[in-house]
Amino acid sequence: MTSREKEFRVLSATAILGYGFPEKSFRAGLARKPHLIGADAGSTDPGPYYLGAGKAFTNRSGVKRDLRFMLREGVRRGIPVVIGTAGGSGARPHVDWCEAIIREIAREEKLAFTLGIIYADIPKERVRKHLRKGEIVPLAYVPPLTEKMLDDSLHIVAQMGVEPIQEALRRGCQVVLAGRCYDPAVFAALPVMRGFDEGLALHMGKILECAAIAATPGSGADCALGVLRGDSFILETLNPARTFTPESTAAHTLYEKTDPYHLPGPGGELDLTACTFTALPGGRVEVRGSRHVPTPEYYVKLEGVRRTGFRTISVAGTRDPIMIKEIDAILEAVTGQVRDILKAEKIDGRIQFHVYGKDGVMGPLEPETKIRSHELGIVIEAVGSTPEAADSLCSITRSTLLHYGYPGRISTAGNLAFPFSPSDVRMGETFEFSVYHLMPLTGRTPFPVKVVTI
């Protein structure tokens, strides 16, 4: 760290690129003269579909709106802009999608800059080499990876750390667009390169990747500022409606983590056992004591999905107290009846009922067993090996449940109310995570950096 750089200011625009932010908050962040503008653009939270389908889970117009602010102000003011996990899942189709938006904005705003593009896709043969050596490690509650599962997988990506982003910045890139990325690396790569403490930078990045979610009241659609110093960092909101508190900041350490004291990442872990959170005037919080502890071997997390079929759903509801009381037995009987009907046609698949008002959110983990609602929402989910098989499963299940004669039924016109016509909706392909494992990094880096002039 040079004598000029007593602090490093990072403007986090939004929790996920495309979620939006108030322009006033962004302008307030610019007034603090940040050294970096960053945004995480993705997550595995929306499930495996988007990685498998190569599609973004955020709206294109929303992403373009956020990027326009970030690029226009960043390029014109000479502030580096870093985007991680482009397009939501960070595979090549997602990176290409986001690059096209960046080029559109550059044309419309007449911007000129050097763009670094970092891909996170991992060839199957590279994974297979480590798998055959017994070097692929499953994460908790994940079965060991097999070659069959690897062969069936699509769009395998790895979470890159700070190093590829630092390479792009060293090569003069003013804007960096990264594929699947360890979320804090977006915000930590440049300050660590400038000599600031890696543990503090990564911990600050872990909070800033969610922008103002760690404030109170929290929001994923608002900006936040992080100020990194020699032995601490300070978090500031940029909206007078929000404040950071020690409680809200410390609580965020629990976000998506089973252990709030040890947070693993590429090449090491954050040790927060000695962390302190201190309130400062103006709704700010200062954090001290964050440490980064390198692991003996550098591992990265792999993510891959495989196709499992096609889904069709139907949404319905019931207000019959007799049906509500016996709903479990009714759904079990309907499932058996549907399987008997389809057996002759050799149509196989999976039927699942999501019963909202009973256990639609938590399923068998729901601790509340008594139904207190006067009505239930029922989503019929059918997954088959083809779109036609899924349609058949859903259609027959829906009609069977509609007219199923359960004990005590008074009305014979039908058991369900449908809010839409047509009642059955194709949802397209279905996927499941097949690769959720750790792989050691040996030999040549798997994260190539492409530098282009816009």
pLDDT digits (tens, 9 = 90+) for 298-325: 999 999 999 999 999 999 999 999 999 9
Residues 237 and 345 in one domain: no
Number of domains, the chain: 2
pLDDT at 380 over 90: yes
List the domain range (segments joined by +) for residue 325: 320-416
Q: Are residues 181 and 111 in the same domain?
A: yes
Q: Which pLDDT band holds residue 232 (cuts at 50, 70, 90)? A: very high
The confidence score (pLDDT) of residue 220 equals 94
Rounded to an integer, the average pLDDT of 73-93 is 98
The residue-averaged pLDDT of 392-396 equals 95
pLDDT at 3 over 50: no
**Across the chain, what does the average pLDDT equal?**
95
Residue 2 domain-assigned?
Answer: no
232 shares its domain with 336: no
Q: Is the pLDDT of residue 255 over 80?
A: no
Quickly state the pLDDT bin for 1 (edges 50, 70, 90).
Answer: very low
pLDDT score of 227 more than 90: yes
* 87 and 140 belong to one structural domain: yes
Query: What is the pLDDT confidence band of residue 5, given thresholds at 50, 70 and 90?
Result: low
Q: Do residues 89 and 46 make contact, with C-beta atoms less than 8 angstroms apart?
A: no
pTM reported for the whole predicted model? 0.93
pLDDT for 342? 85
Would you state the structure tokens that stand for residue 437, as one six-digit string? 């494992």
Q: Quote the pLDDT of residue 343.
A: 83
Q: How far is CA 439 from the centre of its chain?
A: 20
Give mean pLDDT, residues 253-260.
80
Query: In sequence order, which residues have a C-beta less than 8 Å from that of residue 159 and are 6 or more positions away?
Result: 120, 180, 181, 182, 265, 266, 300, 301, 303
279 and 358, same domain (yes or no): no
| Interval 43-68 mean pLDDT | 96
Rounded distance, CA 137 to CA 101, Å?
A: 36
- 167 part of a folded domain: yes
Question: What average pLDDT score do residues 96-115 get?
Answer: 98
Strands (DSSP E) found in 289-442: 291-294, 299-318, 349-356, 376-384, 424-440
- The reply to whether 237 and 364 lie within a common domain is no
Q: Which of 9-13, 71-75, 86-90, 249-253 has the lowest mean pLDDT?
A: 249-253
| Range from 41-55, 118-132, 242-256, 385-399 carrying the lowest mean pLDDT | 242-256
Question: Is 426 inside any structural domain?
Answer: no
My answer on whether 195 and 237 are in the same domain is yes
Residue 367: pLDDT over 70: yes
| 157 three-state secondary structure | strand
- Whether residues 231 and 331 share a domain: the answer is no
Q: How confident is the model at residue 257 (pLDDT cuts 50, 70, 90)?
A: confident
